Amino acid sequence: MSNETVLVCLPAAESASPLADRLHAVMHPYDAELDPVAGKWDRWAVCGGFGRFLLPVKEGCEDDPRLVRSPVDMMGRARVPDPTRSDGGPMELMDFARDKRQSIEKNSRRWDAWYEIASQHPRARRLADVAATSHLVGDAFAAASLAFGRQPAIQALMQRDGIDESEMLWNDFNDPVRIYGYDRAEFLKRVAAKAVSLSALLQVDGRWISGEDFGAEHDLARWDRYDRHVDDYIGSLEPTDLVISVRIHS
């Protein structure tokens, strides 16, 4: 059982059909009751979330009646609206560029802090290049983590951040070489794309897209490729196309 947030894209309204009916029509093919294997959800609702689960409203459009705002949050509680965010609306009311700029600003400082250390030492290897950790367990995984941590750049990073080497277990998700790398521009492209993507994308053509479509299970870079697809796709939508944040349970 899990909860995820899907970015649902709809063509510009061509009829007076209520939004709920239009969403039901595009979500219905992915009902797990129809196909327990290929199905994506057993219940869904317009998000009513918070933070990055909400979509950015363009400045000056906060009171536009075309914005979608659930009156309750994901727990069914009355919601205090944030005028700068919404559950969706026409693309012409959204400001995804703002979220991307803010992500770049925040993450550029993180990359600079990493590179300040990394640039003073021999180029470090990713944990996955030290050992194929996706296939290691127990003592073998701990040994790979230890070998990764003994690289001079990683040693210096732990010393700066006050990390006790004996208590640190490196993995593919906290590996700073994988996360930041040595190419600042490439890193910032990744974080900008990630700022606009959610767990999955339901395109105007009805296709359900997620990271699983961009690589094998242990290929973490598949999520970067997925994020870039979402970013490119959102950028290709018409101003009157709708984007809606939908929360699913599966």
**Four-point Cα dihedral 93, 98, 103, 108, nearest 10:** 160
Mean pLDDT of the chain: 91
Beta-ladder partners of 31? 41
183-205 in b/e burial notation, b at 16+ Cβ within 10 A?
A: eeeebbbbbbbbbbbbbbbbbbe
Six-digit token string for 97:
């560029």
- With a cut of 80, say whether residue 105 has pLDDT above it: yes
pTM, two decimals, is 0.90
pLDDT in tens, 118-155: 999 999 999 988 876 556 556 787 888 999 999 999 99
| CB-CB contact of 101 with 122 (8 Å) | no
CA-to-CA separations, 225 to 172, 193, 218, 233, 244, in angstroms, rounded:
17, 9, 14, 12, 22
pLDDT higher than 70, residue 169? yes
* Alpha-helical regions (H) of the chain: 19-27, 96-118, 127-130, 138-149, 152-161, 176-180, 184-194, 221-236
**pLDDT for 175-217, tens place per residue?**
999 999 999 999 999 999 999 999 999 999 999 999 999 998 8
56 by DSSP, 3-state: which?
A: strand
